[in-house]
Structure 1
Amino acid sequence: MEKILADIAADMLPDTAIPYHIILARICGALVLVALIGIDRESRSRPAGLRTHLLVGLAAAVFGILAGEITKAPLYQIEQVRIDPLRIVEAVTAGVAFLAAGLIVFGKGQVHGLTTGAGMWLAASIGLSTGYGFWIIGFFATAIGAIVLRLLYRVERWLQWK
């Protein structure tokens, strides 16, 4: 019985190339960074706010982590299996583009939702950056994205008064 339970536990918590605490740090890091983008959208009452951005960033981080794990997993180290982690990036980009496109609305001669859609793309790129372990890229993207969303919003509003 102990052997069966040990086998079940080993199957539920398989060895990973990335230690568990690093996986958790990457996921949490993606959430913290993406939250900074989502909070801006939430504060402006946009359709894709904090929760949406967090889910996009979380999913992208998980896809990034999975891509790294799959490329190192012994199960996939056979000649018949060819793994390309860039396909994950392409799939996430296409999936988020689909979501973002649904937010863009044209009505009464104006386009709405472009910035929110772009924010979702940014959230996905931040999630992938941290998921793959490229923290500095995620930090830079978050900082610059926050500046663009906050500072340039104020500049746009100021220019409309002129």
Structure 2
Amino acid sequence: MFDTQIPILEMFFRLLAAAGLALLLGLERELRGKAAGLRSHMLVALGSSAFIMMGLHILLATAEGDPSARIDPTRVVEGVIGGIGFLGAGSIIQSQGNIQGITTGASIWMAGAIGVASGIGNFALAGMVALMALIIMVVLGRFEHEVIKGN
């Protein structure tokens, strides 16, 4: 019914992993009242995963002898990273010399990395990235506010 290089169930699990792991980062931002929260992070990871799988589909079709399907998979990754960088930059605000949103921009970028890792089926990498990013955002965020800034 569907002509795909990656089995449908495998695609579903890759997309689910991307969205589920990005949910953790988005939840942290949501709980802090940031503009880019749950849905934003999940959609970035889901889109990244889907674009990577599309690139893999074209790459695998080329390997099977379809000469019309030529792709350099690194260009797909570059495109995804560039697009996510644009979204992240949009979350950074400068107001009267005070810059805000850098952590949110970085977390959106990390959601893209989680999506790419999930899209290629590297769930261990996706999980480690999500866990480390969450530790940095939560634990080091508290440390920064309580110890360094003294709040």
Q: TM-score, normalised by structure 1?
A: 0.87
The aligned counterpart of 2:24 is 36
Q: Does 1:154 align with 2:142?
A: yes
RMSD of Structure 2 on Structure 1 (CA): 1.7
Give the unaligned 5+ runs of structure 2: none
Q: Does 1:91 align with 2:79?
A: yes
Alignment of 1:38-77 (within 5 A): 38-73=26-61, 77=65
The aligned counterpart of 1:108 is 96
Q: Deviations over 1:114-152 (max 9, x none)?
A: 100100000000001000111111011001000000001
Give the unaligned 5+ runs of structure 1: 1-9
Secondary structure of the equivalent of 2:36? coil
Q: Report the CA distance between 1:18 and its aligned residue.
A: 1.2
Secondary structure of the equivalent of 2:71? coil
Secondary structure of the equivalent of 1:73? helix
Comparing 151-160 with 77-86, greater Cα deviation is found at: 77-86
Whether the 8 Å CA contact 1:60–1:131 is kept in 2: the answer is yes
**Percentage of identical aligned residues:** 35
The aligned counterpart of 2:132 is 144
Q: Report the CA distance between 1:82 and its aligned residue.
A: 3.1
Secondary structure of the equivalent of 1:106? strand
Q: Does 1:128 align with 2:146?
A: no
| Counterpart Cα distance in 1 of 2:55 and 2:69 | 14
Whether the 8 Å CA contact 1:70–1:76 is kept in 2: the answer is no
The one-letter code sitting in structure 1 at the alignment partner of 2:120 is Y
Larger Rg: 1
Tell me the number of residue pairs that the alignment of Structure 1 and Structure 2 aligns. Answer: 150
Q: Report the CA distance between 1:79 and its aligned residue.
A: 4.5
| Counterpart Cα distance in 1 of 2:83 and 2:65 | 28
Q: Deviations over 1:16-63 (max 9, x none)?
A: 221111100000011111101100010011011100001100000101
Is the alpha carbon distance of 1:130 and 1:114 closer, same or farther for their aligned partners in structure 2, counting shifts above 3 Å? same
The one-letter code sitting in structure 1 at the alignment partner of 2:10 is I
Whether the 8 Å CA contact 2:58–2:69 is kept in 1: the answer is no
The aligned counterpart of 2:8 is 20
